[in-house]
Copies of this chain bind each other. A is one copy, B any other.
């Protein structure tokens, strides 16, 4: 078992996996060449989850963790010392938020990291290739509702296809009712209207959806026909529409909808998975119920898997703007172009205004609990969230629910709130989601599978029926970051090919459809 975790080669600090005491020697690194001393003698008490200096750090030194500067020493720090609030402060650099809000203070596209394609055979998975060339990992019927008033009806219809009802259609994964609380007085051209419309269209056109039934009440602003128009639905997706007020009420609509879906099933069940290249995958990255281990186990392990996918040419998308806040200046440097970097900063500026209009501030500073857990600065905290995205260049920035159309690592602007964030990613076209959690979040996201990665072993054991993989082994010292990263990568491919996640076994993922509702409710 390793005493410490090194999060990136050449880091100045490592994270203790147990309480360290003065005088003991600890071994760093995971056996690979990482440019660090292999043995350090501990000088202070360093609690589990806290940082220990790997080399002498003179006054004013930049201190690196995750390969990034997380602060500057405020006194000389000898190797083996604890590094925390008493000897580390936020770096004063021109492009650090707080110094100034001007976008010109950020550096854009100044870093570039080549992620070489691993040697050996290219990985593949078994997916559903759709008429527009995109590849699904599931084959669902989606009932897309234009308004809350058709929500109950949509659920009544979906309920008819639960349990054994689809037993004779083994290539159809289910019928999912996508219901929400909006759509009535919403002006389709308002920001809230456009966001909801983009979300609903993204689901209607999703490659994991073979057939779609669009269901409205009739008197809503967001009309069924307008929803389907320009949704970019693949030509081979079966599309049906029903409007309750035209169909004669709820009972009549349930009967008609069940008949429409029954008529689709034989054709949908004839679809077959085929061998697809790994680059056809679209991965959504997310976390929820984070704890002190998220940033040192599950998140960086997911970053390893994301980098592998990006190296092969797949798409992988980070999200949750408020949780990334404080590290956006590092993402702008990783942007492939100044334009991409500026799109990110535009979204950050939007969030500052949004938070101010709500009477708050966009605050991602470490809380007292965070500090007790070992997090010293806002940068370090945000880097723990950004770690899910590995080290790839940032190829694209998407608005909420915008189509994910660019190979490589992307960033989608979403709230941090789990169901709302994941709904945006799936609407954008994510066909697999990996969700890291410390406290035990239980999110599913039909029609896409969500792989749950536990950050710590205690929670994994307590909630093993709800977790797919235990990254807590990294802090237990029984597996390396690289090993768990590879396991996540392999699991993504297996799940993409049809292996059920625990949330699918539990039939979760319908209630978690939660579009971002912007704008006032009147």
Contact = CB atoms under 8 A, between A and B. Distances in A.
Interface of A: 148-149, 151-153, 155-156, 179, 181, 184-185, 217-219, 244-245, 248-252, 288-289, 322, 354-355, 357-358, 360, 362, 415-420, 439-444, 459, 462-466, 506-512, 514, 516-517, 519-522
A179 B245 CA distance: 26
Contacts of A512: 148, 151-152
A179 B219 contact: no
A256 B521 CA distance: 37
A181 B420 contact: yes
Given A508-B152, A521-B417, A465 B179 contact: no
Contacts of A517: 181, 517, 521
A157 B107 CA distance: 52
B417 A184 contact: yes
A358 B152 contact: no
B181 A181 contact: yes
Contact of A249 (B439, B466, B520, B522): B466
B516 A521 contact: yes
Contacts of A219: 289, 439-441
Contact of A415 (B322, B362, B521): B521
A442 B249 contact: yes
A248 B463 contact: yes
A244 B442 contact: yes
A36 B465 CA distance: 75
Contact of A511 (B179, B416, B464): B179
B250 A522 contact: no
A5 B360 CA distance: 52
A294 to B, nearest CB: 12
Given A357-B357, A522-B417, A466 B181 contact: no
Contacts of A462: 245, 248-249
B218 A185 contact: no
A125 B27 CA distance: 78
B440 A511 contact: no
B217 A441 contact: yes
A445 to B, nearest CB: 11
A464 B184 CA distance: 22
22 contacts: A148-B511, A149-B441, A149-B443, A152-B442, A152-B508, A153-B442, A155-B511, A181-B419, A181-B517, A184-B288, A185-B417, A217-B441, A217-B442, A245-B459, A249-B442, A249-B462, A249-B463, A358-B520, A362-B522, A416-B522, A420-B521, A517-B517
